[in-house]
Structure 1
Amino acid sequence: MTHDSPHGTGTQDAGAEGAAQGGLTTREAAERLGVKPETVYAYVSRGQLTSKRIPGGRGSTFDAAEVDALARRSGRREPPPSAVGDLVFRTGITFIEPDRYFFRGVDATELARHHGYEEVAEWIWTGELRPGTRFTAARESLTAARRAAAAMPRHSSSTDRLRAAVAAASSADPLRFDLSPEGVLDSARSLIPTLVGALPAAGEREEGSGADREDGAACEDGTEGSLATRLWPKLSARPADAASLTVLDAALALLADHDLAASTLAARVAASTHAHPYAVVSTGLGVLEGPLHGAASGQAHRMLAEVVDRGGAAPVVADHLRAGRRVPGLGHRLYTGEDPRAGALFALLDEMPQAAPAMEAARDVVATTARHTPLHANVDLALAVLSVTYGMPAEAGETVFAVSRTAGWIAHAMEEYAERPLRMRPSGQYTGPRPPQPLPAPKVAAP
């Protein structure tokens, strides 16, 4: 196992060698004591610690029991929260307050109101606003991604297809291991429209997998118009007008990043190993599919559709509570009031007459639940209003989330590539049998 030197040169230190001899390295001793490595050597010079030189190598090892005893005498906790590894994430991407959030210091809802998704993505990545930016898929990657997604079983979800598309696009990009900022951005600007282009059109899954489409047709739907324009026919069979595209584009821009959400944390762990951008995005997609993360919007969609059908929220909310389920689309641990992303989308949806029934249902859900607990709408409920209004499938919100958040995963990967690699190595708290244990007896199969 290799580690960084204190100067970040990536050279091997005494970590593995010291561990093999049963002692703690200087870095490990410093972390247990909660001090800098220089202070460890000061303890040695004062006679408070004993160091042992590593034969034939550089560095020293320290007796763990002696270090722990010094930690107790010094009033240090044993072990400290980060006994091994640096879990401080320096990020200049997203800052969240109790009622709003910012992309590189600029109000994210204002950015989404005035700029499209591609422009917001460029701002997150580079800190530069480039009006009129459009992302274009590489033909080879899009062809490979389209074939992989089309080969999935008919019942596969959009996220299933996106994961397959990422793997296929990765194999078609010989420059994927270029982790320079320019190389990562080139891959990202091609990958995002590739994901959109690989998805089947709305209704196509029911009519056929689309595997027999011409490669040229597969490529065309990944290269023209804004990303929102290209994504719309993948979500809804109904034609889009300017207002509906505005809402979709705003949703993509608003969801591009949200600090260290679970999928973003996983993406940064992948990036800390210097995994290429496609692998980082694949990691994020895997975590996103959890029902408590990206898939939460599907639960909100189904609930909202039922409220519209039944003409009121009261019986639907009652059913959820009776079954011991939380009411989806409400509450967010980071905001004291309404999720600002939801507020921005509701403002746009309020201007669309066709969205009125779903908007009324959403407000009824909030008001009904507020009789018992002061929960506010989150972005999942706003996505549900959009998907219910336009006859989209329940997974549409998750698809929007996945495509959009790819920009954030890439931004965080770029930050992580600049950090000390493999820095996220927490210690497990072992709770198994105390070693050494005897070899287990073979289990005899029943006759």
Structure 2
Amino acid sequence: MTPQDGPRRLTSVEVAGRLGIKVETLYAYVSRGRISCTRTQEGSLFDPLEVEAFAARNRPRPLRRHGASTARPLMVLDTDLALVEDDELYLRGQSASDLARTSTVERVAAWIWHGDWEAPLSSPPTTDLAQVATLLASLPAGADRIDQLQAAAIGLGTTDPGRDEISQGALQRAGARFLHGVPRLLGDPFTPGVETRSVAETLWLALTPHPPRPEHVRAVDAALILTIDHDLAISTFAGRIAASGRASGYAVLSAALGAFASPLHGSISVTTVQLLRSVLDGAAPEDALRTAVRSSAARLPGFGHFLYADGDSRATTLLELIPDLPHGAEVTAAVTDLTEVVNRRSSQHPNIDLALAALVLAAGMHEGDGPLLFGLGRSVGWIAHGLAEQTERPLRLRPQGRYTGP
């Protein structure tokens, strides 16, 4: 391919910025054959996929503690919820993949919050949902799914007379009202019998035009369960900080959602949907990948994760369920084509963002629904971390600043 064919390659300045190095350092890598470039009259140009492969190979390995979690420079917090070990995710010692294949998000939430699979989870009454529905309807036309989740957290909080109670029970009630309330708010909360449907079935009816089948509901449940927790993501840490200040469950959710609404965290699946859609619409996988790398704030969207050496087990589990969805065959083929191209050029494997994007497109959902599924599933983990933080000393997560000004 010549430099003029397909999407424009990266300049030396763009590559240096992506790798966090000086341009001089980049050219030293080129001279030693560690990365290649094409010389043109305008300067050196670089293949985006090769750049991503180079970044993955040269990413500093994080320090490890027991259980393969990451020791970050800021702090290490004890957690008994999520563990990544031998490329598998475990929730309280249970395989997340096994839970995704066999359980429902309600049962897993009850177990995580109460220690009892059968513990009842309170659902907001229709009168509360009517008020919150009015709030969601008043959002501007440009509001996205994360905006709706944030508005739902605020609305469900203001309609809960016990929201300011500081207790484990209040946090559990806030999580349950959010988990049950959001799916109903996205559809018709006044449909007779809606309160008897599962969270996953209610979501399917609200987000897709297809009648739900058991395999469809299973895929949604799997997505919600697989996204419950994953070490201390920035949204989880934000929620724990709020809980450290003894915030309500709704404020914990709002704080977490504020950090979640970022292109490097909760919104990556939207970019990944666009990448996958491009291939479905006929673009060559390599061209689609180059465009995605150049336009995304993230690394190669949908691929790679520093906690997994040989692939994200969450993605593997969810992608197994995609062929049974209404548009599953064509979406699975597109995922395979993309993966083959990436595997030829790098060591990165599909991650949960690619699997969520595949679910969105295979189910016929709106292209922005990935963060909704991710955020609703992760809310179970946010509340669990809030419960854990309530047992700690208040305000322990307030760091001390070190003045560096004049």
Rounded to whole Å, the distance in 2 between the matches of 1:394 and 1:90 is: 36
* Residue identity in the other structure for 1:294: G
1:118/1:321 CA distance change after superposition, 3 Å: closer
Determine the C-alpha separation between the residues in 2 that align with 1:322 and 1:121: 38
Tell me, yes or no, if structure 1 residue 313 matches structure 2 residue 285.
Answer: yes
Matched, 1:247 2:235: no
Q: Which whole-Å deviations, capped at 9, do the CAs of 1:172-197 have from their partners, x for residues lacking one?
A: 11111223222322232222212222
Secondary structure of the structure 2 residue equivalent to 1:102: strand
1:389 lines up with 2:377 in the alignment: no
Instruction: Report the counterpart of residue 110 of structure 1 in structure 2.
Output: 98
2:382 paired residue among 409, 414, 421? 409
**In 2, Cα distance between the equivalents of 1:324 and 1:297?**
11
User: Per the alignment, do residues 395 and 377 of structure 1 end up closer, same or farther by CA in structure 2, a change over 3 Å counting?
Assistant: same
Render the CA deviation track for 1:36-78: whole Å, top value 9, x for unaligned. xxxxxxxxxxxxxxxxxxxxxxxxxxxxxxxxxxxxxxxxxxx
- Whether 1:275 aligns to 2:247 is yes
- Three-state SS of the structure 2 residue aligned to 1:95 is strand
1:353 is displaced (CA, Å) by 7.2
Mean Cα deviation higher: 289-298 or 226-235: 226-235
Corresponding residue for residue 127 of structure 1: 115
1:90 match: 78
1:125 alignment partner AA:
W
1:96 aligns to what SS in structure 2? strand
Change (3 A) 1:100 1:157: same
- 1:193-342 aligned at under 5 Å gives the runs 193-199=180-186, 217-218=189-190, 223-310=195-282, 312-321=284-293, 326-342=299-315
Higher relative contact order (CA 8 A, sep 6+): 2
Amino acid corresponding to residue 99 of structure 1 in structure 2: D
Q: Alpha carbons of 1:431 and 1:364: their partners in 2 closer, same or farther (altered >3 Å)?
A: same
Gaps of 5+ in 1: 1-80, 202-216, 434-447
Report whether the alignment pairs 1:380 with 2:367: no
Q: 1:352 to 1:197 in 2, by over 3 A?
A: closer
CA 1:122 to 1:322, structure 2 compared with 1: closer, same or farther past 3 Å? Answer: closer
1:425 to 391, 398, 403: 398
Q: Which runs of 5+ in 2 are unaligned?
A: 1-72
Corresponding position of 2:162: 175
Identity between Structure 1 and Structure 2 (%): 35
Aligned 8 A contact 1:192 1:406 in 2: yes
Local SS of the residue matching 1:310: coil
Question: In structure 2, how many angstroms separate the alpha carbons of the residues matched to 1:226 and 1:324?
Answer: 35
Distance of aligned partners of 1:351 and 1:390 in 2 relative to their CA distance in 1, 3 Å threshold: closer
Distance 2:104 2:145 in 1: 23
* Cα deviations by residue, 1:287-318 (Å, 9 ceiling, x for unpaired): 11101111101111110011111154122123
CA pair 220-297 structure 1, distance change in 2 beyond 3 A:
farther
Deviation at 1:220, TM superposition (A): 5.5
CA distance in 2 between counterparts of 1:165 and 1:319 reads 34
- SS in structure 1 at match of 2:247: coil
Q: For the pair shown, which has the larger CA radius of gyration, 1 or 2?
A: 1
* Alpha-carbon distance in 2 for matches of 1:379, 1:142: 31
Separation in 2, partners of 1:281, 1:366: 34
**Aligned residues of 1:303 and 1:316 also touching (Cα < 8 A):** yes
RMSD of aligned residue pairs (Cα, Å):
2.2
Q: Give a deviation string over 1:62-111, Cα, whole Å, max 9, x none.
A: xxxxxxxxxxxxxxxxxxx88xxxx4422211112240111111111111
Residue 179 of structure 1 aligns with an amino acid whose one-letter code is I
Change (3 A) 1:322 1:143: closer
In 2: Cα distance, 1:138 partner to 1:128 partner: 23
Q: Is the 8 A contact 1:141 1:194 kept in 2?
A: no
* The 10-residue stretch of structure 1 (218-227 or 398-407) with the greater mean CA deviation from structure 2: 218-227
Shift of 1:330: 0.3
